[in-house]
């Protein structure tokens, strides 16, 4: 790796002068670190994250960290402080600049000399939020790792050192790697393709422009200018109103389908040529059909919120469906553990490990949607139309005190142990009945319980929702506002 000498702050090494740091308790989340700029998150936090992460990485034998950031106004400030912290604990830093989170993952995964990665991003949160997503020696850094980072900051238990900093251009290599998702497909057969794209003013915009310029067919792009204030709509493609601009574009131009991204480009949303939303589990059905034709008997993972239609379809196609816990870090970890080539979540995180790296990359997922349609010989609209018509609730969330949320789920599990219906407790409680299924689980990142239900009829759905209400009432809890899907 090219070396560049750079001077950074080195914290005092004497025990009496040892610098310590206490994080706001709301910032250390299960899957990442997140907070409100100027209130719960600032440069001192970023510097402490750098010191703790570098210390843990060096103890594990690593020396070099890639650092990237999204398009939020506060991101460059946090990036500067993070790099100070990393180098002050003796790690070398490869700065890759502004881009989507998967570009940071790519920088880490594609280089043997890079041992960890940190992306500064607020993902799909409001503009005044920011945060950190991390990868450590090729695996997600989450859960106990984040708690340990907090404990080390509290004690000031950091290694001291002086790392060096280089900048590296990975943008072009990343975009070229995305195109490999179309490997083996004749571009001439895709010349008539017409696609709409919505970057939502998020960090994926420039990479999307470069990708679309290299793809065959005709491409219509919305909101590719990076703007951390998100002036057009909130960058969360799981919320239907955030897809309205894309739906109008597809309808007005009579396009084949449309794709949208979240704020940092690791979650995908899509609509077909008729403007119908293709949810995360439905996208996974398309990817599964394509992949299982080439990798029969493969295990495909989906989270507990996914449709029964997905699990049934994977089995019907000769694959092995596996229901797993919600959370991109948990899914990635399980995928690596069992060697699954494909996984996905309702939230739009999709993970390919057949010919890619196993991390969630919405730009790559979009390329693979084009590839799947081409290999299967069906339009995205035809693939969406072939799916069974299911009726489901949006994702229902309601407030519950942090100390009660897991206890309440345990109470539901105990009551449902006497149920005649099939009960899955992989993540919360998912109960299958002749009407369909319902789910009740505790959020790992918020003080809420999350519920969802799915049926083939409105009447069946009403009965399932009534069962959720019964369980909530039995634990002394009430229904709350609906949000999301």
Q: Does the pLDDT value for residue 482 go beyond 50?
A: no
Alpha carbon distance 325, 313 (integer Å)? 20
Q: Distance from CA of residue 461 to its chain's centroid?
A: 28
Question: What CATH code would you report for 391-474?
Answer: 3.30.310.50
Structure confidence at residue 6 as a pLDDT band (50, 70, 90): very low
315: tokens are 């089995």
* Nearest-angstrom CA–CA distance, 347 and 93: 31
Q: Inform me whether the pLDDT recorded for 344 exceeds 60.
A: yes
Q: Tell me: the pLDDT tens digits for 234-282?
A: 999 999 999 999 999 999 999 999 999 999 999 999 999 999 999 999 9
Active site residue 123: yes
* 80 vs 443: which has the higher pLDDT: 80
**pLDDT tens string 8-30:** 333 433 333 468 999 998 999 88
SS3 120: strand
The model's pLDDT over 381-428, given as tens digits with 9 standing for 90+, comes to: 999 999 999 999 988 988 898 889 999 999 999 999 999 999 999 999
Whether the domain at 175-184+194-385 and the domain at 391-474 fall into the same CATH topology:
no
pTM tops 0.95, yes or no: no
Domain 175-184+194-385 listed as CATH 3.40.120.10: yes
Which has the closest alpha carbon to 397: 311, 323, 468?
468
Q: Is the pLDDT of residue 52 over 50?
A: yes
At residue 21, what are phi and psi to the nearest 5 degrees? -150, 135
Q: What SS3 class is residue 268?
A: strand
Of 13 and 99, the structure prediction assigns the larger pLDDT to 99
Is 15-169 in CATH node 3.40.50.2000?
A: no
Spell out the domain ranges in the chain: 15-169, 175-184+194-385, 391-474
141: pLDDT strictly greater than 70: yes
Asked if pLDDT for residue 341 goes beyond 70, the answer is yes
Q: What is the mean pLDDT of the chain?
A: 93
* Per-residue pLDDT, 7: 34
> Rounded to an integer, what distance in angstroms lies between the CA atom of residue 77 and that of residue 73?
8
- The single residue of 74, 75, 89, 123 carrying the catalytic annotation is 123
Percent of the chain whose pLDDT exceeds 90: 88
Confidence of residue 484 (pLDDT cuts 50, 70, 90): very low
């Amino acid at each position: 790796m090219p070396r560049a000498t750079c001077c950074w702050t080195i914290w005092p090494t004497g025990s009496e002068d040892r610098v310590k740091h206490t994080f706001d308790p709301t910032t250390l989340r299960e899957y990442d670190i997140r907070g409100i700029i100027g209130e719960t998150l600032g440069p001192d936090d970023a510097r402490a994250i750098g010191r703790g992460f570098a210390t843990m990485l060096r103890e594990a034998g690593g020396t070099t960290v890639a650092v990237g950031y999204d398009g939020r106004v506060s991101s460059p400030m946090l990036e500067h402080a993070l790099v100070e912290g990393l180098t002050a604990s003796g790690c070398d830093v490869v700065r890759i600049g502004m881009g989507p989170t998967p570009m940071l993952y790519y920088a880490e995964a594609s280089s043997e000399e890079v041992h960890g990665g940190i992306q500064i991003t607020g993902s799909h949160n409001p503009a005044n939020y920011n945060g950190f997503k991390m990868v450590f020696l090729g695996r997600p850094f989450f859960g106990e790792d984040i708690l340990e980072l907090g404990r080390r900051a509290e004690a000031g238990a950091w290694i001291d050192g002086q790392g060096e900093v280089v900048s590296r251009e990975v943008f072009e290599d990343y975009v070229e790697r995305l195109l490999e998702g179309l490997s083996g497909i004749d571009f001439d057969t895709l010349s008539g393709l017409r696609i709409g794209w919505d970057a939502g003013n998020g960090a994926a915009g420039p990479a999307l422009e470069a990708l679309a310029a290299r793809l065959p067919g005709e491409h219509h792009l919305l909101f590719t200018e990076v703007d951390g204030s998100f002036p057009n709509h909130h960058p969360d493609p799981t919320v239907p109103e955030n897809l309205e601009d894309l739906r109008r574009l597809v309808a007005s131009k009579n396009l084949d389908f449309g794709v949208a991204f979240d704020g940092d480009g690791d979650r995908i949303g899509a609509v077909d040529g008729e403007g119908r939303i293709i949810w995360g589990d439905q996208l996974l059905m398309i990817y599964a059909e394509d992949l299982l034709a080439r990798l029969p008997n493969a295990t495909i993972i989906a989270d507990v919120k996914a449709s029964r239609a997905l699990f049934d379809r994977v089995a019907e196609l000769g694959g092995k469906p596996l229901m797993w816990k919600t959370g991109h870090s948990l899914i990635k970890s399980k995928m690596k553990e069992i060697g699954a080539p494909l996984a996905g979540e309702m939230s739009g995180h999709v993970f390919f490990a057949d010919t890619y790296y196993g991390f969630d990359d919405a730009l790559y997922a979009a390329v693979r949607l084009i590839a799947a349609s081409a290999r299967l010989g069906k339009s995205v609209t035809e693939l969406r139309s072939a799916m069974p018509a299911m009726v489901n609730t949006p994702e229902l969330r309601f407030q519950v005190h942090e100390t009660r949320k897991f206890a309440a789920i345990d109470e539901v599990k105990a009551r449902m142990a006497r149920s005649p219906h099939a009960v899955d407790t992989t993540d919360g409680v998912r109960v299958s009945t002749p009407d369909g299924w319902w789910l009740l689980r505790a959020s790992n990142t918020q003080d809420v319980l999350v519920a969802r239900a799915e049926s083939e009829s409105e009447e069946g759905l009403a009965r399932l929702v009534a069962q959720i209400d019964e369980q909530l009432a039995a634990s002394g809890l009430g229904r709350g506002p609906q949000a999301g899907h």
